[in-house]
């Protein structure tokens, strides 16, 4: 019957038995199988990201320097994103801890003055300009800050940082 598969999928999703992962239907408990070699590489990737902090290497450099296959890196980034260990801002990889540290720094800066320039945020966090702007845009999209020319004003503090 037309539409039966779609209806079945909706029922299973509502019942939390299946989910949509990366545009595909999957059992809620599904996790891609990765080999011991891939698990070791993913652990090395996390250690590299932790070591670099706010200045995470570009994806191409990770592929070259760590010997990670591009398809494996793509898989690792998906898995780490799903585990909320990293956030992707375009091609920039940011550890969730780094994102939250930058959020805290920005909130501290707002305690000193009502308007923060991109340059000030960049200098305070140690981020490059491109990534500093990407994070500020993220905070704008969350409704925490609002852009005004080349600076930001605080609109509301996040609930977990109040």
pLDDT computed for residue 23 by the predictor: 59
Q: What's the token pair of residue 129?
A: 């300009």
pLDDT computed for residue 161 by the predictor: 46
DSSP string across 71-90: HHHHHHHHHHHHTTSEEEET
Q: What is the pLDDT of residues 74-101, one digit of tens each?
A: 999 999 998 899 999 888 899 999 999 9
Q: What is the pLDDT of residues 133-160, one digit of tens each?
A: 999 999 999 999 999 999 999 998 887 6
Given a cut of 60, whether residue 31 has pLDDT beyond it is yes
Across the range 109-138, mean pLDDT stands at 96
Q: What are phi and psi of 127, to 5 degrees?
A: -75, 155
pLDDT band of 20, cuts 50, 70, 90: low
pLDDT band of 120, cuts 50, 70, 90: very high
pLDDT computed for residue 162 by the predictor: 41
**What strand order describes the sheet that includes 151-154?**
115-117, 151-154, 145-148
More confident residue, 158 or 22: 158
Given a cut of 90, whether residue 16 has pLDDT beyond it is no
Q: Where does the chain show beta strands of DSSP type E?
A: 18-21, 24-27, 86-89, 92-95, 115-117, 145-148, 151-154
């Amino acid at each position: 019957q037309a539409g039966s598969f779609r209806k079945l999928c909706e029922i299973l999703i509502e019942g939390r038995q299946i989910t949509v992962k990366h545009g595909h239907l999957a059992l809620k408990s599904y996790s891609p199988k990765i080999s011991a070699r891939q698990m070791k590489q993913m652990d090395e990737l996390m250690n590299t990201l932790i070591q670099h902090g706010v200045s995470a290497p570009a994806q191409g450099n990770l592929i070259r320097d760590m010997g990670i296959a591009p398809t494996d890196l793509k898989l690792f980034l998906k898995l780490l994103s799903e585990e909320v260990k990293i956030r992707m801002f375009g091609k920039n990889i940011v550890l969730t801890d780094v994102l939250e540290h930058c959020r805290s720094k920005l909130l501290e800066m707002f305690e000193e003055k009502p308007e923060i320039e991109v340059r000030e945020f960049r200098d305070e966090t140690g981020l490059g300009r491109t990534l500093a702007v990407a994070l500020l845009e993220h905070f704008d999209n969350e409704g925490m800050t609002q852009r005004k020319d080349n600076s930001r004003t605080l609109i509301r503090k996040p609930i977990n940082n109040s």
